[in-house]
Structure 1
Amino acid sequence: MKTLGLIPARGGSKGIPGKNIRPLGGKPLLQYTFEAATNSKLLNKVILSSDDEEIIEIAKQLELEVPFKRPINLAEDSSSSLEVVQHALNYYLKQGINFDAVCLLQPTTPFRKAGFIDECILKFKDGNFDSLVSVRKVPKEYNPHWVFEENQGALKIATGEKEIISRRQDLPKAYHRDGAIYLTKTEVLLNENSLFGKNIGFVDTSAYPYINIDTREDWKRAEEILDNKS
């Protein structure tokens, strides 16, 4: 299976200006993800997709391949990850280069255990999934069967059930995406116009340190995780 590793890093972050290249523990944030990707034995190519000249320059200093500059219309707040991945695939298709799958690696989730990417690729391949994502367990109190949605001034159970599951022990396991990895077949990305498809595999990362950096509080937490590691 030929897999493209894609690191998306646009400029213009509002919560933390310059987030993707801001130093964390003495190195640019995106370097953590680049190092994890280059340690993979199963990624056939690793590239950066960015619209920002400063990010591109730092990536090149790290020897991270930057084959193109991402169009501005794909670097807006409203731009989707799917569009970014499709743009990269179409860039290579025009050159006659095909990939069976894309591994999307967000730099805002910098802490991945050694061998994590290859573990995910092997499970993705062996399970013949449309896609595979990394997830973490949802705490029982936030389980979707215990979550309510507003419904015309009243509340309804978010899952659509008429009766709530009363016992904690009877709640099914629930997970949320942690952003560390998205693996998707090319045919699903291009032909189904989907980042997930119908058959979604997963790897549970609940046992490992985690942060998905979006706010200044998240950044402080990332620094704390690094301090604890050292």
Structure 2
Amino acid sequence: MNLAVIPARGGSKRIPRKNIKPFAGKPLIAYSIEAAIASGEFEKIIVSTDSEQIAEVALEYGAEVPFLRPPDLSDDFVGTTPVTRHAIEYCQQFLFEPEFCCCIYATAPFLTAEYLSLGLEQLKQNKQNKFAFSVTSFPFPVQRALKKQGLGVAAMYPENIAKRSQDLEEAYHDAGQFYWGTTAAYLQKDKIFSEYSMPIILPRHLVQDIDTPEDWFRAELMYKAYIKRDNG
């Protein structure tokens, strides 16, 4: 049995009401809920929030909100892993015993049911792993990164600056969409970014952080282009 946990704290500062702000016609959190439902992988899809307004929207789109998140898990400094553990423990006490849990970000409008299912499939097939989470590749070799130095620039890794792109190892970053794990791994506080986690590689056109108004603008443009393409 599987649990989806969608952390959605109220009080976003850089983008007010971010989790429920309309994005291409729907509240942003709706995309994560709908992808989780469409995957068919979950017995329960729980939105963990401290906001009654977010809770109402989550219920409207088919998620469950069996509790409001306690204050000690609702400030700016609490990560999503403690929030996920809290939801797992709540389920164990009051609802059911999940075997796998997936933390799904509320700010992932490009999330697809296909990749959610792939993450669970890969985790089940590779028993040595405890987590499987979304990543994507950097569009430019990170080994040739620059930094500001005085009024000019300097290479962060001078030994690589003259190398050809194709001679440098491809690098990946967290895509910020989903984090499958065994409930045991979550409860034991195992680290997600580790050798026992497997990457689920997403194409770059399905990944965009939404942390600033500029991110939001770019994400909506990307999403509309993506939908237009899929509609022919």
**What TM bracket, shorter-length normalisation?**
0.7 to 0.9
Q: Give the aligned residue type for 1:100.
A: E
Partner of 2:163: 167
- Residue 114 of structure 1 deviates from its aligned partner by 4.5
- Change in 2 beyond 3 A, CA 1:35/1:216: same
- Residue 22 of structure 1 deviates from its aligned partner by 0.5
Which residues of structure 1 form unaligned runs of 5+?
Answer: 150-154
- Residue 163 of structure 1 deviates from its aligned partner by 5.5
Runs ≥4 in structure 1, deviation > 4 angstroms? Answer: 146-149, 155-158, 162-166
Aligned length: 220
Partner of 2:70: 71
Asked if structure 1 preserves the Cα contact closer than 8 Å seen for 2:20 and 2:28, the reply is: yes
Asked if structure 2 preserves the Cα contact closer than 8 Å seen for 1:130 and 1:198, the reply is: no
Matched, 1:138 2:138: yes
CA separation in 2, counterparts of 1:62 and 1:140? 38
Partner of 2:176: 179
Which residues of structure 2 form unaligned runs of 5+?
Answer: 148-153
- Change in 2 beyond 3 A, CA 1:221/1:92: same
Which region of structure 1 is more displaced relative to structure 2, 100-109 or 195-204?
A: 195-204
Q: Counterparts in 2 of 1:49-60, with a 5 A limit?
A: 49-60=48-59
CA separation in 1, counterparts of 2:134 and 2:38? 18
Q: Give the aligned residue type for 1:121.
A: L
Question: Helix, strand or coil: the match of 1:36?
Answer: helix
- Residue 173 of structure 1 deviates from its aligned partner by 2.1
CA separation in 1, counterparts of 2:179 and 2:132? 6
CA separation in 2, counterparts of 1:189 and 1:113? 23
Q: Counterparts in 2 of 1:1-230, with a 5 A limit?
A: 2-95=1-94, 97-128=96-127, 129-143=129-143, 146=144, 164=160, 167-168=163-164, 169-196=166-193, 198-228=195-225, 229-230=227-228
CA separation in 1, counterparts of 2:113 and 2:101? 20
Q: Give the aligned residue type for 1:99.
A: P
CA separation in 1, counterparts of 2:204 and 2:141? 19
- What is the TM-score with the length of structure 2 in the denominator? 0.85
Asked if structure 2 preserves the Cα contact closer than 8 Å seen for 1:82 and 1:195, the reply is: no
CA RMSD of superposed structures (Å): 2.4
Deviations 1:169-216 (A, max 9, x none): 332221000111111111111124434554111111125332221110
- What is the TM-score with the length of structure 1 in the denominator? 0.85
Asked if structure 2 preserves the Cα contact closer than 8 Å seen for 1:188 and 1:196, the reply is: no
CA separation in 1, counterparts of 2:13 and 2:97? 35
% identical equivalent positions: 35
- Residue 127 of structure 1 deviates from its aligned partner by 1.5
CA separation in 1, counterparts of 2:142 and 2:167? 14
CA separation in 2, counterparts of 1:62 and 1:113? 16
Q: Give the aligned residue type for 1:87.
A: H
Question: Helix, strand or coil: the match of 2:62?
Answer: coil
Deviations 1:10-56 (A, max 9, x none): 10100100000001121111001111000012222211100011101
- Change in 2 beyond 3 A, CA 1:21/1:96: closer
Question: Helix, strand or coil: the match of 2:101?
Answer: strand
Asked if structure 2 preserves the Cα contact closer than 8 Å seen for 1:130 and 1:196, the reply is: no
